[in-house]
Amino acid sequence: MDMFDRLETTIRARRDAGDAATSYAASLFAKGRPKIAQKLGEEAVETVIAAMAQPDKIVSEAADLMFHLIVLLADTGHTLDDVRAELARREGVSGHDEKATRPR
């Protein structure tokens, strides 16, 4: 099991039985999807800022971004395996072609 799988397992455990007073992930779940999505957006912006102005911080910001993405996936009932399957579906297909086939 890789680090992302272990993190996902921990996040799901916090969703199902975590204490919002002692677990950051559990506190996000308690606040609901709008707060989780807001935090993901904040981390995405911080990652972009790091990429442009503070490249030494991009790895730390990317870790925060991935954490919050996994929380949002868990909240919506999705998993990293769902993301892996979607990426596998797209493998070998031009990004332009794949995007053109998406429903509008």
Say if residues 35 and 25 touch (Cβ distance below 8 Å): no
**Angstrom distance (rounded) from CA 10 to CA 29:** 13
Q: Which two tokens stand for residue 80?
A: 């990293």
Residue with tokens 């950051």: 24
**Angstrom distance (rounded) from CA 97 to CA 102:** 9
Interior/surface letters 33-57, b for 16+ CB within 10 angstroms, e for the rest: eeebeebbeebbebbeebeeeeeee
pTM of the model: 0.88
The pLDDT tens digits along the chain (104 residues) read: 899 999 999 999 999 987 999 999 999 999 999 999 999 999 999 999 999 999 999 999 999 999 999 999 999 999 999 999 999 999 988 878 667 777 77
Find all residues with CB under 8 Å of 104, minimum gap 6, and list them.
none
